[in-house]
Each structure stands twice: as structure tokens, then as C-alpha cells.
Structure 1
Amino acid sequence: MLNRVILIGRLARDPELRYTSNGVAVTRFVVAVNRSYTNQQGERDADFIPIVTWRGLAENCANYIRKGSLVGLEGRIQVSSYENQEGRTVWTTEVIADSVRFLDSSKSRAAGGPPDDFRPDNYGGNNNYGGNSYGNNRQKPMDDPFADDGRQIDISDDDLPF
């Protein structure tokens, strides 16, 4: 069986960070994802999808993304139910994200965003809790192969595979 979701969209509101009674961080936010077709008025509709992140990933999301931020995420769908005050069963559906990538450019993050070399996956593992059991997995960021920023690169014909 398979339950995987991949989404790219913009935050509809700021992330909301809370802690469980055991001190585990949990962040909730909503991602607006455009539909691939237009409605009768020629406008694109969007789906507003509730997202939940846990532990280190939750803290990073709360610290580095805001309403309007472009994110890509991967996770699983979770469906739950509860009984409301009238005694009716209410069903909820949300995505439990285990990987969130911050897709905005460094210019759009200039006001308080993460540094250019920040890699969200270096600060949390690839599990349902957004981190490993040993805390944050902080690794040295990879060198940027395009750091020359448009300057000419000296490559000989011998280096090309074709």
C-alpha cells in the first residue's frame, strides 16, 4: 500500500507553532495549491490543504516561512474523526509532511529568511517527525556549483562527454 503526497504551493497564512505536553514541536499551516484548469470565469481555483509538521521540521517551518512563501513538500494523507458538541462525527483530512523545501529565492527572503546556504533537509530527517531521534541532523551545506554567478567557465573539449 502507498500513501504519499507531493505538493507545491504558497502558504495561505503564517505557520502556527505549538508544543505538546511532552515538549514536542508541532506546526500547522495551510498551503494553497492551484488547480491545473480554469473555472468558467477563466480564473484558476486553488485547493487549501492543511499541513502538519513535527519536531525540528516544525520549528524550522515556524522560523523560516510566512504567509505567501512558496514551498514544496512531501508527506502522507491522514484522515481522522472526532465527535463534536452536537454528537456528530466530524472528519478531518490533513497532510503530515516529512519533508518541506523552501522554494522562494533569496531576494524574497531578504527580510528575515534563512541564509542562502540553508538546506531544510540538513535540519531534519526523512521521517514522519521531521527529524531523527538524535535531534537536528546538522550537516555542512553542499558547495554551490553555480557560485561563479554567470562568469565564464574554462572547460576543454576533453572534459565534455559528447
Structure 2
Amino acid sequence: MAKGVNKVILLGNVGKDPEIRATPSGMVIAQLTLATADRQKDQAGNWVDKTEWHNLVAFGRTAEIVRDYVKKGKQLYIEGKLQTRSWDDKETNQKKYRTEIIVNDLSLLGGGEGGGGGRSSGGGYSQSSGSNTASFDQRTPQNDYANEGITDDDIPF
């Protein structure tokens, strides 16, 4: 079978404070939502912003960075891969699906609470001189984790 490519690159703002938990073995898991916006003209010629919401999951050290430095509104650059999970809903006995981006690389950018409000602000990390972003590489463990869905109540507006 030929090798495929599963790569996602996102630049957006965190929709709500991340949810953090740990597995019984102690691995930290962070779940968060990221909003990306696209501007298009409607039929009347007016510019309209369209927001797309993405479900992100980070593991291990990357999840710890999310826990310590990422809050609602923070701008992030994400590299990762798409993964779809399925499970049987205990109440309805229906099969449910959730597509997520498993975070492999995370860069903290400006904006959001504690980010200094500027685009070039990267909090307390700097990877190289002249760069105000922090980058963390994280490979995905093969463990499955508990189901948590995003509802309309999670959207911040």
C-alpha cells in the first residue's frame, strides 16, 4: 500500500479555556477548540467572515504547555493530523463520530489573555534569537481516551 499524507496546518484563536485531564498512568491530555476565519464576498458583494471550529487534542509535554500557557483568545499555530474516533452512545445506542486534530507541533503566538496583546508576543518562551514563538514537537500516542463532545454552548459568541 502506498504511503499517504495526513497533515493539518492551522493558525487561529482558542475558543475557550482548554480542558485538561490525566490518564490513570499519568499522561496529561488537553482538549481545546480553535477558530479559524475566512473572508468571502456574499452575493451582494459584501465581505463576510466565516468561522470554522476545529477540535484539537494534545498529549504529554505539549498538553502541559497548553495547560500552563494557553487560554481563551490565545493565537496558536498548529501542525498535526486528522483523526476520527467512533463510539457507541450509551443513551441512544447510536454510533457517534468525532473528527479531531492531533497536535504534533504547537507555536504560541500573540494575543489572548497574558499574551501581551501584540502579535509578536509569545509569552515566556523563545526558540531562537529574534523569534517570539515557542514550538513543541509531540508525537501521538496510540491510546484512546474518554469521549467528550463539543456543543453549541461551547461557542463563545
- Give yes or no for TM over 0.5: yes
The CA distance in 2 between the partners of 1:13 and 1:73, in whole Å, is: 16
What is the letter of the counterpart of residue 21 of structure 2? Answer: R
The number of residue pairs the alignment matches comes to: 124
Q: 1:65: Cα distance to partner?
A: 1.3
Residue 31 of structure 2 is aligned to residue 17 of structure 1: no
Query: Could you list the runs of 5+ residues in structure 2 that have no partner in the other structure?
Result: 128-132, 142-157
- Between structure 1 and structure 2, the one with the greater Rg is 1
- 2:5 corresponds, among 2, 6, 15, to 2
Q: 1:38: Cα distance to partner?
A: 4.5
CA contact (8 A) 2:106 2:137 kept: no
TM-score under structure 1 length normalisation = 0.68
Q: 1:37: Cα distance to partner?
A: 2.2
CA RMSD of aligned residues (A): 2.2
Residue 116 of structure 2 is aligned to residue 107 of structure 1: yes
Residue 153 (structure 2) aligns with: none
CA contact (8 A) 1:16 1:27 kept: yes
- 1:79 corresponds, among 74, 78, 84, to 84
Greater CA drift, 11-20 or 98-107: 98-107
Residue 54 (structure 2) aligns with: 49
Name the SS for the 1:93 alignment partner.
strand
Residue 100 of structure 2 is aligned to residue 97 of structure 1: no
CA contact (8 A) 1:69 1:104 kept: yes
- 1:58 corresponds, among 60, 63, 66, to 63
TM-score under structure 2 length normalisation = 0.70
Structure 1 residues 88-132: Cα deviation after superposition (integer angstroms, max 9, x where no partner): 1111100000111011165228xxx832536533xx435226xxx
Residue 27 (structure 1) aligns with: 30
Residue 123 of structure 2 is aligned to residue 120 of structure 1: no
CA contact (8 A) 1:39 1:45 kept: no
CA contact (8 A) 2:17 2:72 kept: yes
Q: 1:59: Cα distance to partner?
A: 0.6
The CA distance in 2 between the partners of 1:19 and 1:120, in whole Å, is: 23
- Percent identical among aligned pairs is 23
